Amino acid sequence: MFRKSMRKFLFTATTLVAIISLVFAGCSDDNGSDNADKPLIVVTTNILGDVVSNMVGDSFEVEVIMPPGSDPHDFQASAQQVSKMMEADLLVVNGANFEEGMLDVIASAESDGVLTFEAISVVSQLEGSDDHGDHGDHGDHEGHDDHDDHDDHDDHEGHDDHDEDKDHHDEEGHDDHDDHDDHEGHDDHDDHDDHEGHDHGGIDPHFFTDPGRMATVVEELNEFLVANFPNADQGFVSTANSYAQDLMDLDAEVEEILSGIPASSRLLVTNHAVFGYFADSYSFEILGEIIPSSSTLASASAQQLSNLAEELRSNNVTAIFADASASDALAQTLAAEVGGIEVITLYTESLGDPGSSGESYIDMVRFNAEAIASGLLQ
């Protein structure tokens, strides 16, 4: 009798365990299938990763290659990350050689037929910087006639001077994006198939320092997704539109934060050439860069540093703005040599860690604007 009861108990317990296992396995399969049903967007930089995640909501699965604090210029993707890029339904990149350590991987993905969206290609671009001599006048950017209206930001009412780049709510404002107006062109991937089309060696890649241009990226990517992923959950369309408006509101907020800085004080000295778009949009002059290049992998000569030190003295500069994702050793040395200069760290090319002042793109832009205003008004 005891043995019979024991066998019955064991049978019941075993059956119960099997049922529970099947239930959990089913849940796991359901979750997996939910993710499998969503198109996968792989994004190279964490700045664009945050933007893309906020604009697509739950309609896509988003994976970001570079973690917070990475220097995009020298970041090397792992084998697993490379594999993920090759498997992506869409690869979103900054472009203009920003991802210097990943150019071969991006080229390989494109040549293998991975659909690619290059953010820099949908905004009005500025030429990159390779020496100090070109920074004497940021009011005139050759080849960027669309920014003529940016020359005067003294009047911040209504963004009157941002008509060309900041009016993202009028679709006619995308006249400069003719290649993107007809998204049938994206079906054949005409603008993105040939990696040679991404060879922006002379272009400044740091468009993201201007939230107005980032709003353009969101709008253009939104249209790109509609054209190329008609079977995806279209809930992202309204989410993206809302996020684009958040970025335009951020642009207005940055204008307000900077409004107290007189024109004579709108001089920026940075660790490397990262704030060209910021200067263009908010009427600043780049007085100089410690590393006179758009890349942190470049270096400065002793003569260049000596010349920059003299510029700092003659212009009574009070702050040097350094990159959180790169060493500020040269900035500290230069500040100590000149004297009376504070080195202020900004989130320039990478988001900060979770919980930091730069944990999201919007937080990063706001923090930078406040830090710049504080540094130049002291």
- How does pLDDT run across 31-42, given as a tens digit for each residue? 444 566 899 999
C-alpha dihedral (13, 16, 20, 25), degrees to nearest 10: 90
Burial class from Cβ neighbours inside 10 Å (0-12, 13-18, 19+) for residue 353 reads exposed
Whether the CB-CB separation of 71 and 296 falls below 8 Å is answered with yes
The pLDDT of residue 298: 56
Q: Alpha-carbon distance 285 to 282, whole Å? A: 9
Among 78-87, 165-174, 199-208, the minimum mean pLDDT is found in 165-174
Domains of the chain (ranges; CATH) run 37-256 (3.40.50.1980), 262-376 (3.40.50.1980)
For 178, the 3-state DSSP assignment is helix
Whether the CB-CB separation of 298 and 151 falls below 8 Å is answered with no
For the whole model, what pTM was predicted? 0.74
Beta-strand runs (E) in the chain: 40-43, 61-64, 90-93, 116-118, 267-272, 285-291, 319-323, 342-346
Model pLDDT for residues 310-327, shown as the tens digit of each residue: 888 888 898 999 998 888
Residues 77-105, mean pLDDT to the nearest whole number: 97
User: How many other C-beta atoms can be found within 10 angstroms of the C-beta atom of residue 100?
Assistant: 16
Q: Residue 118 gets which letter from DSSP?
A: E
For 240, the 3-state DSSP assignment is helix
